[in-house]
């Protein structure tokens, strides 16, 4: 197995794990990332996004090679769509996942572009 496939499978596994966390052990932590302007209840938003992450992760692992490029773009779009939650957590100074200082919350903002790049690179043809 080459490095690109290992990276792709690791991304899928990470998303599945995060999705399970949304539904179980990290549910409250994820609620800290839901901006107040989202028109759904925070818990509902966390549950829905968790289901999407599980589905996306499983699809990343199982999808045939010919669909991976578009799936990489969809995954990058997902990471882009949830980025306002990271910004909101920083702006509103909400603690979650050990992000209990402005410096830690700011550092988290720089992880999202890395996730976007990971999605695009690991699934590029």
Contacts for 6 with CB less than 8 Å, ≥ 6 apart? none
35: left (phi over 0), alpha (psi -120 to 50) or beta: beta
**Which pLDDT value is given to residue 59?**
98
**Which pLDDT value is given to residue 46?**
97
Write out the chain's pLDDT in tens, 125 residues: 899 999 999 999 999 999 999 999 999 999 989 999 999 999 999 999 999 999 999 999 999 999 999 999 999 999 999 999 999 999 999 999 999 999 999 999 999 999 999 999 999 98
Number of domains in the chain: 1
Contacts for 105 with CB less than 8 Å, ≥ 6 apart? 86, 89, 90, 93, 99
Distance linking the first and last C-alpha atoms of the chain: 15
């Amino acid at each position: 197995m080459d490095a690109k496939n290992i990276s792709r499978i690791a991304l899928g596994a990470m998303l599945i794990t995060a999705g399970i966390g949304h539904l179980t052990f990290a549910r409250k932590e994820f609620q800290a990332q839901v901006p107040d302007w989202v028109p759904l209840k925070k818990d509902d938003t966390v549950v829905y996004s968790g289901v999407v992450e599980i589905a996306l992760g499983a699809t990343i692992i199982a999808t045939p090679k010919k669909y991976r490029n578009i799936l990489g773009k969809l995954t990058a779009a997902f990471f882009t769509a949830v980025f306002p939650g990271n910004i909101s957590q920083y702006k509103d100074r909400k603690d979650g996942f050990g992000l209990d200082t402005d410096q830690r919350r700011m550092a988290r903002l720089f992880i999202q572009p890395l996730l976007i790049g990971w999605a695009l690179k690991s699934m590029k043809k």
